[in-house]
Amino acid sequence: MHPHPRDASRQIAYVCLEGGESGVYVRGSGRLEGGSATVILPEHFALVTADEGITAQVTPQGDCRGLFVAEKGSSRIVVRESQGGASNVTFDYLVMGVRRGFEDHQPIQNNTLARPSPSISQPSYELRMAAPENRGLQKLLIENGTLTPQGKVNHATAERLGWRLGPMSSKNQPPVTAIHRPGQEE
């Protein structure tokens, strides 16, 4: 969350870039000297980035014969001008890698988050999924069979997957209207 810089009643809610790996990146600008540049990457990037799987892209900011990445690693990249060029052109770079220790991350996992909970009544769960901010999630849960097309808990799916469901009544439970996300106020 980011406070809106010109409107105190609003905030800006960005979401993160996602992918099937635990990616890390660093970006910046550099300048060739006589057709070559060595860019020293920040220590924090080198400390968290696995040695395998590093990619680097460069974009020239002026006229030249083209650029290429001659060497790449978690601590530096070497950029050269194509065809033996010797310009002093500036360039932008983006270096990406995989977070060290997460090289074997598997993106498809057992569902432990977006399913009914035995601690929440089924009506409360259904109301939560029907809240305007959760409509996209509700659509996905209908599509995968967690909810019926009417937005109700799909008992056949719950039984097939061995899920324990909450009570059928929401007595003694306050209605829940949204999924709590980190950074949200209660």
Query: Which residue has 């977006």 as its token pair?
Result: 114
Task: Indicate if the pLDDT at residue 160 is higher than 90.
Answer: yes
Q: What pLDDT is recorded for position 22?
A: 92
Q: What pLDDT is recorded for position 174?
A: 55
Annotate 82-143 with DSSP letters as a single string. GGG-----EEEEEEEEEBTT-TT--S----SSSS--TTS-HHHHHHHHHSGGGHHHHHHHHH
Q: What pLDDT is recorded for position 181?
A: 47
> Cα-atom radius of gyration of the chain, to the nearest Å?
25
Number of H-type helices and E-type strands within the chain = 4, 8
Q: What is the pLDDT of residues 111-137, one digit of tens each?
A: 888 889 899 999 999 999 999 999 999
Q: What is the pTM of this model?
A: 0.71
Task: Indicate if the pLDDT at residue 170 is higher than 90.
Answer: no
Looking at residues 153-173, what average pLDDT do you find? 86
Q: What pLDDT is recorded for position 140?
A: 93
Task: Indicate if the pLDDT at residue 3 is higher than 90.
Answer: no
Looking at residues 91-105, what average pLDDT do you find? 96
